[in-house]
């Protein structure tokens, strides 16, 4: 075979490979997709994942199967997705902990900015400062006085290192300038159950999980962590921490969707389109608004905007963890 003929054979082979890949991407997905939630079942992120999976399945034509995989504050499940085959069939739904874990776990086996394809952000959920029903303070002002005057230990529950409640607790202790006894649990549900049982003093958690116990009077709500008040009739009277004098305190439990690095661009675009369609669903919007969540509709819904936002959040949490000191536990 001449050199010229060999060149044509190579070109034809390359074109054939490209055509095959393009055809495969066009037909994606051909079987169910696994959506990993790196936290225990029943928590806020898990609930969001099931709603999102149901809606994205409609536009993709194949089911998204939610698999909770808790461990090490989201690290175990996130590592699994980072090392998965980049074919679009293993995805990750993670909250803002993905930006904090690099500072909390220096020996991570993945790099948030380098080892994932960013698919878009989903929601932002307000977090609340909560207390057990038997806690002496009845108002936000009384709570702040009690925290500074109380001579004994104050217990602060969380859902485990790297969880939303743990990260919020770190910020609260810095803002209050008061160390507390961190009490970790294996998930949001057991932490909330212990608060309802009067076994721990405080908890900072999402409205998605805590609205029912608040409205029924099983726990106390003192303040919101977002810049604006929560737009729910039952919580609108609740002041924000900024209103209570903690200038600049701003925290919401945002969530985003990810695929392993190297996932073909055509598949990334298809998944992003399915995500955008899901977020426009009227029933989904109503269900999220009913628990105070905000649907993402700005630049962060795009892969580029999502990644740019997370990059800034990684820098922010690096500073928070450095300043936290003893509060990081």
With a CB cutoff of 8 Å and minimum separation 6, the contacts of 284 are: 51, 52, 55, 278, 295
Q: What is the pLDDT of residue 329?
A: 52
pLDDT by residue for the chain (329 residues), tens digit each? Answer: 444 455 455 445 544 444 444 545 568 999 999 999 999 888 889 999 999 999 999 999 999 999 999 888 889 999 999 999 999 999 999 999 999 999 888 889 999 999 999 999 999 999 999 999 999 999 999 999 999 999 999 999 998 888 889 999 999 999 999 999 999 998 888 999 999 999 999 999 999 889 999 999 999 999 999 999 998 999 989 999 999 999 999 999 999 999 999 999 999 999 999 999 999 999 999 999 998 999 999 999 999 999 999 999 999 999 888 876 644 55
Name the pTM for this structure: 0.86
For residues 199, 202, 208, 211, the Cα torsion angle rounded to the nearest 10 degrees is 80
Contact by Cβ (8 Å): 223, 244: yes
Q: Exposed/middle/buried for 127, CB within 10 Å: 0-12, 13-18, 19+? A: buried
Identify which of 78, 123, 118 has the alpha carbon closest to the alpha carbon of residue 97. Answer: 78
DSSP characters for 168-193?
Answer: HHHHHHHHHT---EEEE-SSHHHHHH
Q: What is the pLDDT of residue 99?
A: 95
CB 292 within 8 A of CB 230: yes
- What is residue 75's predicted lDDT score, i.e. its pLDDT? 93
pLDDT for the residue 163: 87
Angle of CA points 274, 280, 286, to nearest 5°: 130
- For the chain, strand residue ranges (E) read 33-37, 64-68, 90-95, 116-132, 155-158, 181-184, 202-206, 219-224, 252-260, 294-295
Q: Which pair of tokens denotes residue 48?
A: 């969001």
Neighbours of 111 (CB within 10 A): 12
Residue with tokens 């082979």: 13
Contact 285, 277 (CB under 8 A): no
Residues 6+ apart with CB under 8 A from 174: 320, 323, 324, 327
The closest of 14, 1, 54, 221 to 129, measured between CA atoms, is 221
- Measuring CA to CA, which residue among 59, 153, 120 is closest to residue 301? 120
């Amino acid at each position: 075979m001449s050199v010229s003929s060999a060149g044509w054979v190579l070109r034809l082979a390359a074109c054939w490979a490209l055509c095959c890949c393009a055809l495969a991407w066009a037909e994606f997905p051909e079987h169910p997709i696994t959506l990993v939630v790196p936290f225990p079942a029943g928590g806020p992120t898990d609930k969001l994942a099931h709603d999102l999976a149901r809606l994205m399945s409609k536009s993709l034509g194949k089911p998204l199967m939610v698999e909770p995989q808790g461990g090490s504050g989201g690290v175990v499940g996130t590592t699994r997705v980072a090392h998965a085959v980049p074919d679009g069939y293993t995805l990750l739904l993670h909250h803002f902990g993905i930006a904090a874990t690099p500072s909390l776990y220096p020996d991570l086996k993945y790099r948030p900015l380098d080892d994932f394809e960013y698919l878009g952000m989903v929601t932002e959920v307000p977090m609340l400062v909560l207390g057990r029903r038997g806690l002496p303070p009845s108002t936000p002002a009384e709570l702040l006085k009690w925290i500074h005057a109380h001579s004994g230990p104050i217990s602060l529950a969380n859902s485990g290192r790297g969880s939303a409640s743990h990260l919020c607790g770190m910020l609260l202790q810095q803002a209050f300038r008061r160390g507390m006894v961190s009490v970790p649990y294996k998930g949001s549900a057991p932490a909330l159950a212990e608060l309802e049982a009067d076994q721990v003093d405080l908890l900072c958690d999402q409205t998605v999980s805590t609205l029912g116990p608040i409205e029924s009077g099983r726990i106390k709500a003192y303040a919101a962590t977002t810049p604006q008040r929560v737009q729910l009739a039952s919580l609108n009277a609740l002041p924000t921490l900024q209103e209570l004098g903690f200038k600049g305190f701003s925290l919401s439990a945002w969530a985003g969707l990810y695929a392993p690095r190297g996932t073909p661009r055509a598949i990334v675009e298809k998944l992003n389109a399915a995500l955008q369609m899901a977020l426009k669903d009227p029933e989904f919007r109503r269900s999220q608004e009913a628990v105070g969540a905000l649907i993402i509709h700005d630049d962060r819904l795009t892969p580029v905007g999502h990644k740019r936002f997370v990059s800034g959040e990684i820098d922010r949490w690096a500073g928070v963890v450095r300043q936290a000191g003893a509060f990081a536990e």
